[in-house]
Structure 1
Amino acid sequence: MSLTHGISLGWFSPTLPLLRSKNSPVGPIDVTEVMWIGSMFGFGSLICNMFICFPISFFGLKKCMYFVPIPNMINWILIYFASKSAFLHVARVLLGISGGTMMVCFPIFIAEVSDNNVRGTLGSFFMLTLCGGLTLGFVMVYYISYHMLPCVVILLPITFFCLLIPFPEPPQDLLKRGRSEMAEKSFYFYKNLSKDPTKQDENKEAFIIFRDKVLGGGIQEKVTISDFCNKDSGKAFSLIAVLLVCNQMSGSFAIFNYASAIFAQLGSSMEPNMCGIFMGVVQLSGLASAVILVDRVGRRWLLIPSLAGMGLAEFGVGLLRSLASQEYLNRHFWVALTLMCIVAYTSSVGLVALTFVIIVELLPFKIRAPGVSLSMCGLSCAVFMALMIYPVTISISPCSCRQVSPLWA
């Protein structure tokens, strides 16, 4: 499902030239509409993040995961039948709702069913498939027609829905609702404990230790304001706030939404969409590195170099765009491409790969679901602001962009 969501996000940037052209299936759209269509994703995600913790608490994690593919499928149906730009506004809101649910449910699910020694790897792999979908979205738009793409991609969320059915609910979720016997079976399933009769006592003891640890965290108690206002929770949310600000204000997400326009304005002689695909491949290599390294070197030693490298590379991109002449940019287009690829690699090897892993690990069991939901509200606000600001900061306007970029011609 994360692959599907990535394709849905990656579809937007390389499709903009078609949407801006006279042959647009929704009629030519101007920069204001582009800005709002792009940012509607963050709006939909915010709506979902504000309320998703209540269905998780009431219905359970797995039932909420069943909901994830539904808005995504409707998103592709609207894209297929779109005749006005309003269809795309609604489609992006629905995509945000699907993504908002996924970004809360999936990290919690991974944290609750995985062992400590592979949790970072699985969390990074979740982001690897998501960003792999972004790159695949660029490629698919390049080779598949506008109306054929929804027919292909919609099969993926249907497949996810079917594959999810045989998986049991997480044991923590079942213990929270007092279903100890089902929780024990779920614990054995996800821990892959042997069904050998000689090990029944050993397995039972492992489950009792796990159950006492979970229940000892007050997971069955009613969540109150004091659970969010104590010292441990305050420290966790402070660290999460810094992490989320770094995640979005670095432009790690917005850059990919407007990659084609950025490369065009940096004077690349390569086709902008091809530069975006190349940068996506570099990002995937960074995420693959994170999958390999995260549980070996630790979170801190990936996150700090990631932030430093990304900041320096983006500073270089800013200097290049501000100080270099158009002639220099055209002659040395590889400089911009190299800097953007450094941004892609350094952000993905640490910040992108670890954000959701760290958020879930920092929060106590008792407030994990509402805490992640609250954190994702902050992330959605940051996404909305970043997607609104970036078209302006890279000077996307009908007049200026005709001179420098085929994207807006």
Structure 2
Amino acid sequence: MKICSRRTRWQLLSTMILCIMSLTHGISLGWFSPTLPTLISDNSPIGHPIDISEVKWYFSIVNLGVNLTCIIEISRIGAAFGIGCLICNMVICVPVSYIGIKKCMYFVPLPNILNWILIYFASKSLYFYVCRVLLGFSGGTLVVCFPVFIAEVSDNSVRGTLGSFFMMTLCSGITVGFVLVYCLSYHVLPCVVVFLPILYLCLIIPLPEPPQDLLKRGYEEKAEKSFCFYKNLSKDPAQQAENKAEFDILRNKVLASGITEKITSADFFNKVSGKAFGLIAVLLLSNQMSGSFAIFNYSSTIFEQLGSRMEPNLCGIFLGVVQIFGLISAVLLVDRVGRRLLLIPSLAGMGLAELGVGLLKSFASQDFLHNNGWIALTLMGIVSFTASAGIVALTFVIIVELLPFKIRAPGISISMCGLSLSVFIALITYPVLINDYGVHVTMFVSASFCLLGLIVLGIFLPETRGKSITQ
């Protein structure tokens, strides 16, 4: 396998170091749901039950979104999570341009460490809101910096695979966080998990900055050393001329892209950038409104309406495990079959499965649903697998590869703001759809967005497998 070759050894190792932090972030997001029943009970580990009216605001601002009702009800701390994440999304490109992407990555674990410390010492609901704010800052920086770093240090032949590792570990972390709650007590869990961001911080220190990032800031000698490190090029004097020639090819491409010049509005408002941002907008809308995130967030309610006799937490674990297998499939296939051949069938399979769930709920009797729960479980499993093998795993990879090299950092910041907005829309519309109109309408709406992505991306999305990151 190319990913295990001598040349890509340090690329793989560097990605695995970053994945420690993405796994930790996933655990930080996933631990709360199964912990909630304990926190609101008389045996709450913080000494008293949390008010359920306060908890629902915390729970509704999962991941990159912020619940509209929180703002309406003036839940300032709940809204601060989304605001903090959006601020990081928008401004992180500034320090990335001036101090480099790696230095910005030092910031990622610090809010996460504080998050676990506060969880350990929590004595009231306010602590959990502050934790969510901290995770907003950490996650907002992580989703901008990590995909760019991985793309810039990777060979063209393994860039998709290594980029997919990021989402695989992030989503796996959510499932791991769910499971760890049942294995470790409330106060032991933070003591164990807090070592992961500390480990990441220690391991990332020796890694060089990406060569493209160094060239952008005028450090050609350091850039050449970084290039040789990540390509694991031989230090044999006889190979130096060949190594130099390979680096010069990269240097010339980077400098020809205009990356050392000042970014102007013309760099954003042109045909190439306009097409890239248009495709990214459809990609992000398809990612969230197809239900790839919101459906899993409300899986227990969906399974209940479908007459499932399985425990809600077991349903969540089942979908989480299926999701991991889908992500593993993406890692194994993305650089073999290409982005399009994973993404397009993913949207088609997801849409058909959601259509099947909608038709099942519309025409099957309650007795039939109750006695044949495996049908709904299978269809939801297909939704989970196909979403994870395509739209979930590849979104960040495709965004990085679509954006012109010169505006990649600010472009990703803008894209992540778009992701925050699409999550926001999904989280405020799906509860209304499920509770007021039913699961069948929810699934039909989700399938329609899969169809939208299938048509637009199927026609206009270029294949970026094997292309240089500077193209």
TM-score by structure 2 length? Answer: 0.80
Indicate yes or no: 2:49 matched with 1:27: yes
2:337 — aligned with what?
Answer: 297
Deviation at 1:269, TM superposition (A): 2.1
Alignment of 1:195-210 (within 5 A): 195-210=235-250
1: CA distance, partners of 2:39 / 2:368: 31
Q: Which amino acid aligns with 2:273?
A: S
Q: 1:264 to 1:11 in 2, by over 3 A?
A: farther
Measure the CA separation in 1 of the matches of 2:357 and 2:110.
39
Partner of 2:283: 243
Number of the residue aligned with 2:138: 98
The residue number in structure 2 matching 1:12 is: 32
- Would you say 1:364 and 2:411 are equivalent positions? no
Identity of aligned residues (%): 71
**AA at the equivalent of 2:92:** I
Query: 1:80 corresponds to which residue?
Result: 120
| Contact 1:309/1:346 (<8 A) preserved | yes
Q: Deviations over 1:161-217 (max 9, x none)?
A: 111011000011111111111001000001111111101001011111111110110
Aligned match of 2:385 in 345, 355, 367?
A: 345
Q: Is the Cα–Cα contact under 8 Å of residues 322 and 384 in structure 2 kept in the other structure?
A: yes
Any conservation in 2 of the 1:13–1:257 contact (CA below 8 Å)? no
Q: After superposition, give the CA deviation of every residue in 1:334-368 in whole Å (9 maximum; x if it has no partner).
A: 22221211111000111011100000001111100
Q: CA 1:11–1:242 in structure 2 vs 1: closer, same or farther (change >3 Å)?
A: same
Matches within 5 A, 1:217-256: 217-256=257-296
Q: Please tell me whether the aligned partners of residues 74 and 94 of structure 1 are also in contact (alpha carbons under 8 angstroms).
A: yes
Letter in 2 for 1:311: G
Residue 154 of structure 2, aligned match among 90, 110, 114: 114
Give the C-alpha shift of residue 86 in structure 1. 2.5
Worse-matched range after superposition: 156-165 or 263-272: 263-272
Alignment deviations for residues 79-128 of structure 1 (CA, whole Å, 9 cap, x no partner): 22223323222212221221111111011001100011100111111111
Q: What residue number does 1:178 align with?
A: 218
Q: 2:353 aligns with which of 310, 313, 316?
A: 313
Please show how residues 207-218 of structure 1 align to structure 2 within 5 Å. Answer: 207-218=247-258
Separation (CA, whole Å) in 2 of partners of 1:386 and 1:88: 23
User: Which aligned segments of 4 or more residues in structure 1 are displaced greater than 6 angstroms?
Assistant: none
Asked if structure 1 preserves the Cα contact closer than 8 Å seen for 2:399 and 2:412, the reply is yes
- In structure 2, runs of 5+ residues without a counterpart are 1-20, 66-81, 437-471
Q: Which amino acid aligns with 2:285?
A: V
CA spacing shift, 1:165–1:371, aligned 2, 3 Å: same
Of 144, 149, 160, which aligns to 2:184? 144
- Counterparts of 1:339 and 1:306 in 2: how far apart (Å)? 14
Cα RMSD (Å): 2.0
Number of aligned residues: 396
Are the counterparts in 1 of residues 50 and 124 from structure 2 also a CA contact under 8 Å? no
Matching of residues 40-55 of structure 1 within 5 Å: 41=63, 42=65, 43=82, 44-55=84-95
User: What SS does the aligned partner of 2:106 have?
Assistant: helix
Q: Tell me which residue corresponds to 2:457.
A: none
For structure 1, which segment, 205-214 or 82-91, has the greater mean C-alpha deviation from structure 2 after superposition? Answer: 82-91
The secondary structure found in structure 1 opposite 2:435 is: coil
The answer to whether 1:68 aligns with 2:108 is: yes
Q: Secondary structure of 1:63's partner?
A: helix
Which residues of 2 match residues 358-397 of structure 1 at below 5 A? 358-395=398-435
Structure 2 CA distance, aligned partners of 1:245 and 1:69? 29
Query: In the aligned structure 1, how far is the partner of 2:126 from the partner of 2:252?
Result: 52
* Aligned partners of 1:170 and 1:187 also within 8 Å: yes
State the 1:156 CA deviation. Answer: 0.7
Q: Does 1:2 align with 2:22?
A: yes
Hey, what's the Cα distance between the residues in 1 that align with 2:57 and 2:425?
A: 11
Q: Which moved more, 1:104-113 or 1:142-151?
A: 142-151
Question: What is the TM-score normalised by the length of structure 1?
Answer: 0.91
Task: For 2:278 and 2:377, locate their aligned partners in 1 and report how far apart those are by CA, in whole Å.
Answer: 35
Quick one: which amino acid aligns to residue 368 of structure 2? Y
The answer as to whether partners of 2:322 and 2:385 remain within 8 angstroms in 1 is yes
Aligned partner (choices 154, 165, 178) of residue 205 of structure 2: 165
Deviation at 1:28, TM superposition (A): 3.7
Q: Which has the higher contact order (CA 8 A, sep 6+)?
A: 1
CA distances 1:15-63 after superposition (whole Å, capped 9, x unpaired): 2333444444463443674145432642132221011111111211001
